[in-house]
Structure 1
Amino acid sequence: MTVTPEILTDEERRLAVEHWLLAAAEDRTWARNEWERDGIALLRCGGVFGTVHISADIIHGAAGSDDPAAVNGHLAKAVLGGPVVVDQETSPYYVLVGRSTGSRVEWERPRDARESSMGQILVAKDGMPVVTTLLPREVSSVPAARRLVRSTLTDWQLPALGYLAELVVAELVSNTVRHARDSVVRVTLRRIANGGVRVAVTDKSHAVPVLRPLNDDALDGRGLAIVDAVSRRWGTDLLPWGKRVWAELGQEADIPSATKVPMFAVHKAQALYVLIVVALAVLLAAFISTEQP
């Protein structure tokens, strides 16, 4: 009979957890290098492990503090040193557990967590609703992201922001498809004060988008100019493993104005600019007509 030696030291426990996690990777060497280089590695759930989602309020309440050191200490004892991941954007905690955990009878009753038609519904620290989803880094994700925006803003009763928010998310996801790395992108919508919405696209690239002077003859490269024109403000948050590009839209519907949108001198560029403005005007007129009795 083979006797499995008992794990006695912290180093042995760390190695055991590491090998267990790596068993879920398609390429163990690649996953280990990602972790060492970027501080994050993409692993598949449903194979050797699954995840249990716990809200930050519950974790902080159990730990008696929201201090990271106190929370880490509590979790280390509560889950016996097992791996826990925290989402830095929306703050839920994900405890990695064995694959069979999800089939326990305790989980057969309806869950409290809700799902929208296309994304997971969360609550930010300030109590504002958040909808987030992962999409493949493919061109087909651009219309999928627009549908997510349209559905979410309808649920939040903010349809007036829909056409601008769709335009922004389309540009941000398109940039990610063209320039980022890894196979997925996260799209997040967060309601903000004064009836506004924050659109964010997160990826694993550290390349920061820059709003540059435009070449008059160029027929592309105007995505950030559009985002800058229609948003209250926009920016990039650098993360240890990538970046988050976001834009905030206001209830006042920041329609592009001559003072905010750059003008172009060459005929081809002027034509493109006119087409963009006409498209926005058509969308606005269509929305107003649907609102009239």
Structure 2
Amino acid sequence: MSAITTDRDRFIVIEDWLLTAASDAQQARWDWGEGGLALLRCGDLFTAIRLPGDSVRAAASSSDPVEVSTYLTEVLDGGPVIASRSRYYALVPPSTGVVWQHPDAECLTWGTWLGVPPVTRTTCEGSLQYWAVPMSSPGKLCDVDAVSQLVRLARQLLSGQEAGDGS
């Protein structure tokens, strides 16, 4: 029973941290309670790298959401990633927008709003957006270099597939 309490407490702490990026924390919490997305502003606590789904699936060598999540957990060292139908969003430190230079993956800079699912939504079943890699603790974000390596790998793999298709 203590593990349940610990998980619940962890979720609450993570929610509270994320909600400091909302313009209206009460509304965002209500949206989560109704199963919706909370709009959180990028740039203060975190920002996000928007990764094309086909790129992530190519790097993971799988289109199975569970296998992709496992892959992302490994290569991003447990850093949080939100998944949608066609994209993944790796949460990274807010300063990333200053240095990010990959045209294949956009950095959502300060002031951009991101739809964030409830922290407890960790499967794609019946969800348009979910945590492919859940946030483990407040402030624990993806390493920018690891995300950059993922983008480069995906680009190489997709370029090789395209070259192989034309032969």
**Using CA pairs below 8 Å that are at least 6 residues apart, which structure has the higher relative contact order?**
2
Give TM-score scaled by structure 2 length. 0.50
Give TM-score scaled by structure 1 length. 0.30
- Kindly name which structure, 1 or 2, has the bigger radius of gyration based on alpha carbons: 1
